[in-house]
Structure formats: structure tokens, C-alpha cells
Amino acid sequence: MNIRPVRYDHPDAVKLNDQVQLEYIERYGDEGDITPLDATMFDPPAGLYLLAYDEDGSPVATGGWRNQDGAGAEGYATGDAELKRMYVVREARGLGLARRILAALEESARAAGRTRMVLETGDQQPEAIALYTSSGYTPCAKFGHYREYESSRCFAKPLAQGFLATPT
């Protein structure tokens, strides 16, 4: 697998984002994730967006982080990096791609001076919750666009400087 940085508005990123939105609709029965996102939010050094490609060059996994300084009104703290759009196509699940992308995003956020990685997922995504808790994330106070939703689950992980995460 080849993991590489792309812009959030790259055609392959848009393709996978459309797929994850359909999965959200399947799981939650609503319009998908309506969190306001802009491609520039993921531009380094304030963020990073990654795509994984299989040996045939097809996009199979994605994930990104964005800086959340100055977003205190939604429950973020100074130094937060927010994980967004973690997704692996069904055919590539179980290969460790999400864990590899997560580790690369954490390393990038740490290198950019972020002190904590935060994420929001939902109660209908047990696979995501299992990935995050097994990667050292713990429940935290709700934040972000879905902080008022009962189904929302928020997690955080300190990004200590000098600590290198190793995927398991």
C-alpha cells in the first residue's frame, strides 16, 4: 500500500468522501456528516490529508487532521488537532490501513506542534471506537459540530513531544 498526502479536494479524496457519506447514511439514516469542512483546513502545516492506494493505484483509505486552535466555543482546546474522514473501503478492511494512517496523522500533528489529537465518531461505528481505544484514545468531553447529539462519542489522545507512535 502506498500512503501519500493529497489535498482534501483531490478527486480521489472526494470519491472516498462520497463513499463514507453513504456509509454514514446507512448507519445513521440521516444526511451523512454535515460538519463544515474546507480543503484549506487540511493544508500543512495546519493539517494533513492522506490517501492510501492499493497496488493497482485505486484509492482504498483516507484520513486527515486539522488544527482547531481558536475553536473554543465548540469545546476544542488550544493545541488540538482534530481527526477527520478516517475511512477504509469495505474490500480493504482488516489490512491495518486505518491504523497506519492514524499513526502517520498522529506523527504529523505532533511534528506540527499539536499537543492533543481529538476525534468524534458515533455509537453506530463500533469498529472505529475499537480502533481508537486500542490506539490509546480515551473518552473526553464532547466537542465540535455533533457535541449535542446523544449518539456522538468523543475521544482524545495526548501527543507528547518526542513520543513516536508505533502501529500494532
Q: In what order do the strands lie in the sheet with 2-5?
A: 2-5, 47-53, 59-67, 80-88, 116-122, 152-158, 138-139
Domain hosting 79: range is 2-158
pTM listed for this prediction: 0.91
The CATH number of the domain holding residue 105 is: 3.40.630.30
Alpha-carbon gap, residue 49 to 146, rounded angstroms = 21
What is the per-residue pLDDT across 14-71, written as a single tens digit (0 to 9) for each?
999 999 999 999 998 877 788 889 999 999 999 999 999 999 999 999 999 999 976 6
List beta partners, residue 88.
61
Select from 11, 18, 13 the least CA-distant residue to 3.
13
Total number of domains constituting the chain: 1
167 falls within a domain: no
